[in-house]
Structure 1
């Protein structure tokens, strides 16, 4: 009988943990503090000073959600004025992820043209929520 309770308890804990992870996936969060020593060189080199916002996607080689994120952010940046998307593979550069405080991939960090972190998203972003959060930092759209 004890074994049944252990199995049921494990299932409940797993269900709660899964629900929490699902709720956090793709959620836009406020910017973290800037790294003490500035941005790591690969990130600084990836920033587009001509764009209002650069989305830096932190990925790893065998990350399936990273491919989904790339497929979402690439076209989003192409059709949004002032938005640029860059993907950094940190498989062989874990120090970059460590310096940025990235614990999972994909993580997307939005930077202003001056290198200021604006926001970050863990997991696959939700395009409407991301655009809404970035709206104050992007050029105003002209409506007819």
Structure 2
């Protein structure tokens, strides 16, 4: 085989491996270092929006963008999950309207869901469309 064919095979293998690694991390709860209090990082308008909502033990703060197809799927899943689970509420923020919020919140892909307790501490975050069972398992200790 020629060097070009080998280079192509290596590139395809690297792309498949990279895609598998990326896919493995999507939709799973990832603990944050030390459960940072997010209220210090949240813009005032978002703090007010979170404060105006009903009291809940856990808030699923979904960060989306307008033309993101997985964001629409995440919205439906999280809204249904919050409706069916006591002590949980869902709030969606469109970063298309507020791109400056992505840097302080350390959100670089959408959808990203920040899971916050009542004090505003980040319990964990989920990049991509959450897996319902994984979300329920991760939330169990925080809802007891």
TM-score of the aligned structures, taking structure 1 as reference length: 0.89
Deviation at 1:95, TM superposition (A): 1.5
Deviations 1:5-24 (A, max 9, x none): 11101101100000001100
Where structure 1 has 5 or more consecutive residues not aligned to the other structure, the ranges are none
The 8 Å contact of residues 44 and 115 in structure 1, kept in 2 or not, is answered as no
Which of 94, 99, 115 pairs up with 2:104? 99
Instruction: Please identify, of 40-49 and 106-115, the stretch whose mean Cα deviation from structure 2 is larger.
Output: 40-49
Instruction: Please identify, of 10-19 and 25-34, the stretch whose mean Cα deviation from structure 2 is larger.
Output: 25-34
Deviation at 1:37, TM superposition (A): 4.2
Q: Which has the higher helix share?
A: 2
**3-state SS of 2:139 partner:** helix
**3-state SS of 2:90 partner:** strand
* 1:55 aligns to 2:56 (yes or no): no
Counterpart in 2 of 1:114?
Answer: 119
Count of aligned positions = 139
Mapped to 1, the partners of 2:38 and 2:81 lie a distance apart of 27
Deviation at 1:113, TM superposition (A): 1.1
Deviation at 1:97, TM superposition (A): 1.0
Cα distance change of structure 1 residues 65 and 16 upon mapping to structure 2, 3 Å threshold: same
Deviations 1:2-55 (A, max 9, x none): 110111011011000000011000010002434694322243223246111110
Deviations 1:95-133 (A, max 9, x none): 111110011000000111111111100000011111111
Counterpart in 1 of 2:18?
Answer: 17
Counterpart in 1 of 2:48?
Answer: 45
The 8 Å contact of residues 54 and 85 in structure 1, kept in 2 or not, is answered as yes
The 8 Å contact of residues 49 and 113 in structure 1, kept in 2 or not, is answered as no
TM-score of the aligned structures, taking structure 2 as reference length: 0.89
Where structure 2 has 5 or more consecutive residues not aligned to the other structure, the ranges are none
